[in-house]
Amino acid sequence: MKRIVYSLTLLVSISLISSCSSGEKTEKDSDPGEKSNSEATYGGKVDVAIATPTPLLNPKYVLSVANSQVVSMLYEPIVKFNPQTLEVEPLIAESFEITDSNKTFTFKIRKGIFFHDHECFPGGKGRELTAQDIKYTFEYLCSFEEGHSSVPYQTVFINNVEGLEDFVNGNAEEISGIQVEGDQVTIKLRNSNADFIKQLASPSASILPKEVVECDGISKGAGTGPFQLVKNDEKEILLVKNPKYYLKDEKGNQLPYLDSVQFKIIPSKIDQLISFEEGEIDFIDGLPSGKIKYMVEENIRNFDEVPPKYVLAHEPQLGVEYYTFNLTRPYFKDKRVRKAISYAINRQTIYDKILKRQAFSPGQAGIVPPIKLFKGYDFDKVQENSYSYNPEKAKKLMAEAGYPEGRGFPKITIEYNQNDQNYKVAAEIQDQLKKVLNIDLQIEAVSFDKKMENTTHGRTDLGRAAWIGDFPSLQTMLLLGYGKNVPKSLDKPSHPNSMRWVNPKFDELYEKAIAAGSVEERYKLYAEAESIFMDEAPVIVLWYLEENQILHSYVRDLHFNAIKYLDFRRVWVKPWTEEEYKEYIKK
């Protein structure tokens, strides 16, 4: 399947396949991803713009999309997503087999995979990866460090693997459900989970060497990925080709094709766009909503000429923008207050006025985006408990909660990570809540890291948040409401359920859905769980994400999908000729 090129006359959606079959999958000598263009050439660099530095490149603490994208180029999980279909394919594992009704996962580990050279290894030379590294890594990823929340524990392993809780609680020295025999790793689950293989494809489940972990060198890079870390500072992250990378394309050519990838730190999206137009940036992930019309109208020739200079991709995301309520605050414990605030917000105005309609839709369904990826899911049932603008209902609920016309309700704060759009949204909500409910709202901008620290430790009233699914499943979205991983103490971070919302019935339905034997049953249980979540209103759903990626057309075979998974192994750079481009479009 070739990459779909988007221009003004060709803006189409990629059809995503969310299911993967059980049973053995084997790929011994080549990259199991998309077949390479036969004319792919070696060399070159791609410059990518990101908004903030990512000093912590440890898969254990991946909390942002940019962080995940950099980590995924340095480190690798045992399986990966196909960037076009999102099907799961072998990677570090040469093959895998799923048996026992999705409870036993067996992986045969490839030979000839080497970790990057690193000062923490004897002589500075990276050694060969072994099956024992998988067991060591998963136990490291599930261990806790003071003040930090282990992302893979919360999003991949919790309530899944046999013996995990005994290990976490200090009652066992190893996770009994992870066993190694020769070059084979077997993972046994407590209950069936058809999505577990997708969870293992997350960058946060990447495999790490013990030597580098123990000498505190992970953030300097020491994975098995296609690129190695050369530089990481406040201005740029430079990755260069791993000369010992093990994957080859179907013609026997070693991957990756690129010599390097550079992430340039440019906080302002407007400045990113200027750098793109000046040729300093090759790819922007998320074109500013207010600039899309300008970009098209002012540069129409650059899109419509053959070959085009610029390519615009338009992709609905498995993602949602929302605000979190801090449920440790006494004034938010009454769900009537939370529901009143949700009803008081005019999402359509935000969508039209601030986003310029550059999103998938206003957030008037549930926490799960109503996209085609989940065909057959009962979005209508969920929407019965969802929220659209209803000021009279909002006022009535607030009065019932003891705050008629806002009297007696304290001044509250929205905390957001600084950028122009986040500010405009917060300011609009500030005005709307004052107008409808007479609530005084203070808005405060902080860094992304500070916002994450404050929201996960329950230190602010309302927190701006966005969630992109880690894998193509309802499970990854409804994890936001799962209560069994919420710590009892505010001294410990709560992620991704930063609201600290706990509902036993939701948790029961969520767990049953994961273990369900059919897609139909799974969808039914998830819809029941999501309906409870929306009725309880622990978050304010604002809108569903739809990203606009823009790149120079000479960047080839970079594929976009609903979970923002970028795979640079087969990306290559070469300007198009008119004849070549016309032939390409015909295929």
Last residue of a domain, one of 225, 240, 266: 225
Contact 368, 530 (CB under 8 A): yes
Residues 408 and 513 in one domain: yes
State the average pLDDT for the chain.
Answer: 90
Last residue of a domain, one of 545, 560, 576: 545
Tell me what pLDDT residue 23 has: 41
Residues 205 and 348 in one domain: no
pLDDT at 8 over 70: no
Tell me what pLDDT residue 148 has: 65
Residue 70 lies in a domain: yes
Segment 112-140, tens digit of pLDDT? 999 999 999 999 999 999 999 999 999 99
Residue 507 lies in a domain: yes
Residue 157 lies in a domain: yes
Residue 220 lies in a domain: yes
Sign of the Cα torsion 385, 387, 388, 393 reads: positive
Last residue of a domain, one of 171, 206, 225: 225
Residue 342 lies in a domain: yes
Residues 496 and 351 in one domain: yes
Residues 352 and 483 in one domain: yes
Residues 196 and 328 in one domain: no
pLDDT at 365 over 50: yes
Tell me what pLDDT residue 147 has: 55
Other beta carbons less than 10 A from residue 210's beta carbon: 13
Segment 338-357, tens digit of pLDDT? 999 999 999 999 999 999 88
Q: Which residues pair with 123 in a beta bridge?
A: none
The number of distinct structural domains making up the chain is 2
Percentage, residues of the chain above pLDDT 90:
75
Residues 350 and 484 in one domain: yes
Residues 200 and 332 in one domain: no
Question: Which of 401-418 are b and which e, b meaning 16 or more Cβ less than 10 Å from the residue's Cβ?
Answer: bebeebeebeebebbbbb
Segment 15-56, tens digit of pLDDT? 222 233 334 333 434 444 444 455 788 999 999 999 889 888
Residues 333 and 219 in one domain: no
pLDDT at 149 over 70: no
Residue 358 is part of a domain; what is its CATH number?
A: 3.10.105.10
Q: What is the DSSP string of 36-72?
A: PPTT-----EEEEEESS------GGG--SHHHHHHHH
| Range of weakest confidence among 86-90, 101-105, 358-362, 496-500 | 358-362
For 128, the token pair is 């060969």
Residue 354 lies in a domain: yes
Residue 553 lies in a domain: no
Residues 462 and 327 in one domain: yes
Average pLDDT over residues 106-117: 97
Average pLDDT over residues 325-339: 98
Name which residue leads in pLDDT, 31 or 173: 173
pLDDT at 290 over 70: no
pTM of the predicted structure, to 2 decimals: 0.88
For 159, the token pair is 């309530």
Residue 366 lies in a domain: yes
Q: Give whole-number Cα distances, 531 to 93, 193, 373, 380, 385, in Å.
A: 38, 22, 19, 10, 6
Using pLDDT thresholds of 50, 70 and 90, give the confidence band for residue 449: confident
Residue 178 is part of a domain; what is its CATH number?
A: 3.90.76.10
pLDDT at 358 over 80: yes
* Vertex 581: Cα angle to 575 and 585 (nearest 5): 140
Provide the residue range defining the domain that includes 322.
Answer: 317-545
